[in-house]
Amino acid sequence: MIPRAFAPARTALLLATAAIGLSACGGGSGGGDSSSEALTSFDAAALLENTADQVIYGIYQNMAEQANEMEAAVQTLVATPTAANVEQAREQWRDTRKFWERSEAFLYGPVTSNGYDPRIDSWPLDVSAMESFIAQGNITQATIDSADNNVRGFHTAEYLLWNDSNDANNVDDPQNGQDTAANVAAKLASSADRRDYLLQVVIDIRQTAEKLADAWDPSKDNFGDLLKTAGAQGNTTFSSQSSAVEQVIIGMRAIANEVGTGKIADPFNTGDSLSVESKHSFNSRADFKNNIRGIKHIYLGDFPFQSDGGADGVGVTDYVQALGATTADQAFKTQIDFAIDQIDEIDQPFRDSINGTPAQKQEIQNAIDAVLRLRDMINNDVLPLLNKTDFAQ
């Protein structure tokens, strides 16, 4: 979810405002002013179908599959709490979270309206309540189902699989400041209630992941049909292809803005390491990168990436090219990879780098700049194309 510990700043900054100001004079969301500039015809049906059924559903489907694997790994761990099984469960947590973070490039539809986002990814946690939960015991699926969001989801599982990386008493590895798998295993071995809690939380994550996949499954709830039928009679969610394509683009902009102004920038600006999301697992950097990879999936229309053996799906890139903005298209694709590379330059763990050396801080600033550049390119080069398009529906 949009992490609430940081300034999430869904607010677009100055350049966003400029782009919106531009769209105020026509086009975009229902802007109807005639323009002297000729419009380019475009049928977005293939783009919207591929986005809904291949990319978005594909990512949610993969998250559900990985969540099932995570549950199996945690079943093994709670039955046999060893360091090796902790490592295996941690690996599955990372693999599941990878797809969740990519899905943040399309935080609209059931993920927000059905409350799945706060249920699966609330941050910060109510740590004192969690420990009280464990102390109270008798934790069942019903317990988790009726619990508040700040004691379940990815970060609760993270806390139980890594322990509190800010608690000096738990830290047994001065090299990286993170608690060892052996210590986590020992803590789990000593408490059946802690094991129950971990298992039930992971089951809840798996169930939510499955609900998300079902919500977009063309043969089940098929939310994507609203995108695919944009502009059709009776579609009050997307009354035109323009509004549906705008939704897809705005989804990318929202997460670029969030990563650039909130997820990375807030803890960096405040120096508050306690507020860093995924701080126990040191997965913050991977979270940022997967957010940008989510943008890449949507933009290219590929899931998996074509370079990973996937098919060349119809994406926003095809729309941008069809509108003749080939230079902007190439620049945007280059910037996506550049932003990922810049994030990758941040020294691990991000939690410590925010208060690190000047060089480490410069790496973080470089990553912020690259991501915000990506956001600004969406504002300046991609969104304005809507005003130049005569959509088929």
Partner 1 sequence: MSLKSLLGLIAAVTLVAACGGGGGSSSGGGAPDGGGNGGDPRLSGGQTTIFNATSEAFEQPAPNLSAAQQAKHAAGDARFDVQFVSAGNDVHPGLGPIFNADSCGACHIKNGRGRPVDDSGQTTEQIQIRASLPTADGDSAPYPLQNFGLQLQTDATFGVTPEVKVKIQYQSIDGQYSDGEPYTLVAPHYIFEQPYVPLPADFEYSPRVAPPVFGRGLLEAIPPERLEQLADPMDANGDGISGEIQRVTNMETGATGVIGRFGHKAGQPTIRQQVASAYQDDMGVTNPARPEESSNGQNQDDMRTDDPEISEEILEQTAFYIATLAVPARRDVDNPQVRRGEALFTTSISAGGLGCAACHTQTLRTASGAPLEALLSVSFPDDGPNPLADQVVHPYTDLLLHDMGPGLADGRAQSKANGQEWRTPPLWGVGLTDVTNGHTRFLHDGRARSLAEAILWHGGEAEAAKEAFRTLPKADREAVIRFLQSL
Binding site for partner 1 (CB under 8 A): 2, 4-15, 17-25, 27-33, 107-110, 112-115, 118, 122-129, 132-133, 148-151, 166, 236-239, 243, 246-247, 250-251, 254, 261-262, 266, 274-275
Distance CA 248, CA 230 (A): 12
**How far apart are CB 292 and partner 1 at their closest, in Å?**
19
**How far apart are CB 75 and partner 1 at their closest, in Å?**
27
**How far apart are CB 261 and partner 1 at their closest, in Å?**
7
CB 265 within 8 A of CB 11: no
**How far apart are CB 306 and partner 1 at their closest, in Å?**
27
Q: Is the CB of 87 or the CB of 131 nearer to partner 1?
A: 131
Question: Which residues share a beta bridge with 101?
Answer: none
Q: Is the CB of 17 or the CB of 306 nearer to partner 1?
A: 17
**How far apart are CB 304 and partner 1 at their closest, in Å?**
26
CB 123 within 8 A of CB 5: yes
Distance CA 102, CA 294 (A): 4
Amino acid at position 146, single letter:
S
**How far apart are CB 325 and partner 1 at their closest, in Å?**
19
Q: Is the CB of 80 or the CB of 269 nearer to partner 1?
A: 269
Compute φ and ψ for 42, nearest 5 degrees. -155, 130
Task: Annotate 23-70 with DSSP letters as a single string.
Answer: HTTSSTTT-----SSPPEEE--HHHHHHIIIIIIHHHHHHHHHHHHHH
Q: Is the CB of 4 or the CB of 361 nearer to partner 1?
A: 4
**How far apart are CB 220 and partner 1 at their closest, in Å?**
16
Where does the chain have alpha helices with state H?
14-23, 45-50, 57-79, 83-103, 110-113, 116-121, 127-136, 141-145, 154-162, 181-189, 192-216, 224-228, 241-258, 265-270, 284-300, 316-322, 326-344, 350-353, 358-377
Q: Is the CB of 238 or the CB of 391 nearer to partner 1?
A: 238
Q: Is the CB of 151 or the CB of 340 nearer to partner 1?
A: 151
Q: Is the CB of 81 or the CB of 231 nearer to partner 1?
A: 231
Distance CA 366, CA 361 (A): 9
